[in-house]
Structure 1
């Protein structure tokens, strides 16, 4: 259980100065940090305010303020004035949870959304029911990736301006209990060590007849595949800077470190042979991910390795969600040749039995963005997006006031991950797309009618007939000259 919370002094003081200079009476946002599993410490790297809702309203406001406006309009008599009323907080929990989900995509390993903060007076905070904070924190926990949601603890930080002070509470998601924590500030971001690796993956998922008969979708199939690969990834060993690392060792030297993940040989691989009646197709997800993680002081390398593996899975799931959320013409164009005409739906709503031909889609590329004190966050760029789109998301989601400098970005992935589908015979004949090839919609009818291309079967038959004819002529000539 977390008993001591340490916040990054420079970032938290800057956030407090911003709030004091503004005329905001109430604000809510998320906390980016880390809850250490090896000690009773928690770390707060930054606090990020929740953006305004789609209607332009703040995510947090004072309930008494809204009621006071109504009383002034009606000219209420005998009621309490706004100053005399006990103010309470109104928080849009769903909006805060969605903001936490979007921010979690942009965080690298070793950093996560660990709770929420509230800016208000001490009176407003005490007048707000504990149930309100419980619902908001639970919503944030449920919106995070599955491996982050397993953590039972979250933080609730109250920044009070009357009186001026910081207070922290440890919230149990399971029991809804809140316990006070010791809160102090120090310089912690410059003590983080960065670990980075290029992880190559090639996930091949057979599509069985049962999958089609049960109307299983692409979304469920790929999520199950990523979840199974996450279990396999847990047993991977690592090379750190070219040397086999001991998981319990302490890495004392600073700077960034290069890691190579070593997967063990599969002992439970499929050894049975299947026919085309049992396997109708294969879904292939392959590419290279630049994974990163941050390790705090006095933490074992085992923690950095675990955070790297989580970053790999989080990156795969984030890209899958981004592709499935897209509903523009690019997906429709890619699905046009793979799905029967007139059946236009988002990709995740299509059952596997509806896909008749080969299909290839590119996943977005990961780009690293400078953030705080030499640390980085990430974002994902589709082919149709530019760096301006990336800058807009950073301004909205991460509250980055300065525009992102394109020259400071790190495009660590040269090629995007590719999702392809192929029939059974295409898969066993090795006709899937190479990793570096740009995915295109294939049209077998066009290839068949192409005048400049002959079928391999016809070419082999003609060559065999030609060789047989030559052999007969040589045999006949040899017999004729021998008889003479």
Structure 2
């Protein structure tokens, strides 16, 4: 349970000044940072306001309580109730979902903040707790590493900061909030940077007896990524060229290079045994990942953050492609329609299909840290700048050279058709590269017999020639002896 929280003084003071001068009666937004249950501490890097919704309405507003005229006093005074908060919980959760895709290993959406008076906060604790829960569900792609989330109240009447811990382990009620120590300090300057380029090649055969819930490439790939996450967890790490002990503190400053040594790869085709295969999904490419480690955290935390970041990056790309390809699924899907084949039953495909996924690009954020975004092949960095302004409430970089694009080649998905995988010799069309290699290695029984007969004949002919040569040589030797 998080008992103490340290906030980045520079960023939080800037936000407080903006709120004071804005004159807004209320505001809600996301808390970005790290929570470490082992240390019982939290670190807050920044607070990001939730933008207005599509209708231009704010995500948070005050609701004045109705007057109660029934209890008028003798002097004719009416009792006026205190105001409470209205929060568009779904919109705040959607903001959290999109922001979480832009955050790198270890840095996450760890809660919400609210700017309001003390009285309206007290009248809205249940609404705030429900908002925290919605944000946690929307921003978590992997298993929760902590059941804690933060609720930071910036009060302007009276002026003060209050931080509370909201536990997700039990039913959300107003009693779920627990106070925790909060102070401002320098947390960004002490972060260590770890960078990893991870190459992956997921080959996912689909057996005929596979359940009906794993018939579409999008579902098959999502299941394959989850399975690969378990393999990645057991990988050994090399940091700066040295095999390391994960429990050690890594005191070296600067940026560190990380490589992972996966255990001996289990042949994925063995999962099908002797069963027939309906199709094959191949997802391959590279993921560039960053993680940021606090000086008090062990190296194992950075390695765990990178592993989670790799898997979350793959899942985020799949979600982006799935969302875009699923927008026009109201009618019948045409297999020829670009990227819609993600939602087709794999058995219905009649040819091999491929699809390029978005590339991950990196934008300077706070101090020496980065955030990321995903660009399609047809998109430019201008889209990235818009996302930075709208979602992260930050100034977009004007110098394009500051944007890192280490993923030169985008990850690619290949989906082999049912007919080419299950009946590879039935089509006269050219086969995928994998099947070509298989054909070159496979000889049918009739061909083997022909080769065997040919080999027997060659041996007999060679013996006959050798025997004839010996006889001829013998007669020539005798003839030469008589001549002498």
User: TM exceeds 0.5?
Assistant: yes
1:38 deviation in Å? 2.1
Determine the structure 1 residue equivalent to 2:167: 172
After superposition, where does 1:27-426 map in structure 2 within 5 Å?
27-64=27-64, 84-128=80-124, 130-147=125-142, 149=144, 151-175=146-170, 176=172, 177-211=176-210, 216-266=215-265, 271=270, 278-327=276-325, 339=335, 346-423=340-417
Higher CA-based Rg = 2
Deviation sequence 1:6-28 (CA, Å, 0-9, x none): 00000000000110110211000
Distance 1:212 1:40, change over 3 A: closer
**TM-score when scaled to structure 1?**
0.80
Task: Report which stretch shifted further, 298-307 or 263-272.
Answer: 263-272
Gaps of 5+ in 2: 68-75, 432-438, 441-446, 470-484
Distance 1:322 1:33 in 2: 24
Distance 1:80 1:88, change over 3 A: farther
**1:212–1:351 contact (8 Å) kept in structure 2:** no
Deviation sequence 1:100-139 (CA, Å, 0-9, x none): 01000000001000000000111211222x2211211111
Distance 1:312 1:428, change over 3 A: farther
Distance 1:345 1:201 in 2: 21
Q: Aligned residue pairs: how many?
A: 427
Distance 2:297 2:64 in 1: 46
**TM-score when scaled to structure 2?**
0.80
Distance 1:244 1:415 in 2: 29
After superposition, where does 1:435-446 map in structure 2 within 5 Å?
none
1:150 deviation in Å? 5.1
Distance 1:148 1:58, change over 3 A: farther
1:266 deviation in Å? 3.8
Root mean square deviation of aligned Cα? 3.5
Distance 2:261 2:338 in 1: 42
**2:101–2:316 contact (8 Å) kept in structure 1:** yes
Determine the structure 1 residue equivalent to 2:480: none
1:215 deviation in Å? 6.8
Distance 2:143 2:24 in 1: 31
1:85 deviation in Å? 3.8
Distance 2:396 2:154 in 1: 25
Deviation sequence 1:249-300 (CA, Å, 0-9, x none): 111121100000110114686547856x710211001001001100001211
1:401 deviation in Å? 3.2
**1:215–1:352 contact (8 Å) kept in structure 2:** no
**1:38–1:299 contact (8 Å) kept in structure 2:** no
Distance 2:285 2:423 in 1: 21
Gaps of 5+ in 1: 69-77, 431-443, 449-455
Deviation sequence 1:178-219 (CA, Å, 0-9, x none): 110110000110110010111000000001112376672222
Task: Find the residue that maps to 1:211 and give its secondary structure.
Answer: coil
